[in-house]
Amino acid sequence: MATSQSQVGIRDLAPGLWIWRARHPSWTKDADWQPVVTSTFVESGGERLVLDPLAPALDSIGLWERLEKKPPTSAVVLLPDHVRDVDMFVSRYRARAFGPMFFFPDQVPNTPLEPIHADSELPGGVVALYDARGRLETPMWLPEQRMIVFGDVLTERTGELRVWNSPWHEKRELPALRGMLELPFERVIISHCDMDPVHTRAEFEQALDRPPWTG
C-alpha cells in the first residue's frame, strides 16, 4: 500500500525527474478531488518540461528557486481542465506551450498552445498517449525515466489506485489503458490522491481489475 506522500512539497523520483505538490486555489469541499495536486518536471533529450504546472500560492516549497537553476523549455497541459498556471510558466521562462486542441469556456489559456494528440512526440522525445475517455486527455510517456504521467485517468483513494469512471470504461478506456502495458514503464504519476501520487506498474495493473472510481 502507498505511504502518505500527499502533502505539499518537492519530491525527487529519478535523475532529471521530480514532482511538486501544491494546493489548488479552485478546490472546494464538494469537489470529487483532493485539494493538493501534482505537477511534474522532467529532463529528457536535452529538453526540460513541466507537465500540468501549478504555482504554489506563497512558494513555501522553493519551487521558483529550483526551476531557476534549470528553467523549463516547454510547458504542457494534459487535459482541458488542467490549464492551471501554464500562462505564468510560459511567460516567466519563455517556454514553448503545448496542450489540447479545445478547452472549457471558463478555462481557456491566454497563451496559444501547440496542439497535442495521441502519439504526438513532444520536445525531448516525450510521447502523448491515448486515454479513450473522450475528455481530450493525453497522458505522457517518459521513455528515459520509464514513467507515465496521468492527469485525471487515475486517482488514488485510501492507498488504492483506481481508474476514474467514464461512459466508455469497459469498451474503450480499459482497452486503451491495457495497451499502455506494452510500454516498458515502471511507475506512474497521478495528479489526485489521498496518500501517494507515485505508483508501481503492478499497482497500475491492479487498478485495471478494480471497479472504477465513481465518486
- Give the per-residue SS3 of the chain: CCCCCCCCEEEEEECCEEEEEEECCCCCCCCCCCCEEEEEEEEECCEEEEECCCCCCCCCCCHHHHHHHCCCCEEECCCHHHCCCHHHHHHHHCCEEEECCCCCHHHCCCCCCEECCCCCECHHHCEECCCCCCCCCCCEEECCCCEEECCCCEEEECCEEEEECCCCHHHHHHHHHHHHHHCCCCEEECCEECCCCEEEHHHHHHHHHCCCECC
Residue pLDDT, tens place only, 105-152: 888 999 999 999 999 999 999 999 999 988 889 999 999 999 999 999
Residue 70 above 50 pLDDT?
A: yes
110 residue type, one letter: N
**What is the predicted pLDDT for the residue at 139?**
97
Residue 215 above 80 pLDDT?
A: no
- Averaged pLDDT for residues 27-38: 90
Q: Is 6 exposed, middle or buried (0-12, 13-18, 19+ CB in 10 A)?
A: buried
Alpha carbons 191 and 84: distance in angstroms, whole number: 12
In percent, the amount of the chain with pLDDT more than 70 equals 97
**What is the predicted pLDDT for the residue at 5?**
59
Residue 77 above 90 pLDDT?
A: yes
Residue pLDDT, tens place only, 4-14: 556 889 999 99
- Averaged pLDDT for residues 175-183: 97
Mean pLDDT, the chain, integer: 93
Alpha carbons 119 and 166: distance in angstroms, whole number: 22
Q: Which pLDDT band holds residue 1 (cuts at 50, 70, 90)? A: very low
**What is the predicted pLDDT for the residue at 2?**
44
Nearest 5°: phi and psi at 197?
Answer: -85, -5
In percent, the amount of the chain with pLDDT more than 90 equals 80
Contact call for residues 129 and 148 (beta carbons, < 8 A): yes
Neighbours of 125 (CB within 10 A): 14
Residue 54 above 80 pLDDT?
A: yes
Q: Which CATH number fits domain 9-209: 3.60.15.10, 1.10.260.40, 2.60.40.420, 2.60.120.380?
A: 3.60.15.10
Choice among 97-106, 173-182, 194-203 with the minimum mean pLDDT: 97-106
Choice among 40-44, 90-94, 156-160 with the minimum mean pLDDT: 156-160
- Averaged pLDDT for residues 95-111: 92
Closest CA to 44 of 119, 147, 114: 147
Distance of CA 192 to the CA centre of its chain: 9
**What is the predicted pLDDT for the residue at 48?**
98
Q: Which pLDDT band holds residue 3 (cuts at 50, 70, 90)? A: very low
pTM, two decimal places: 0.94
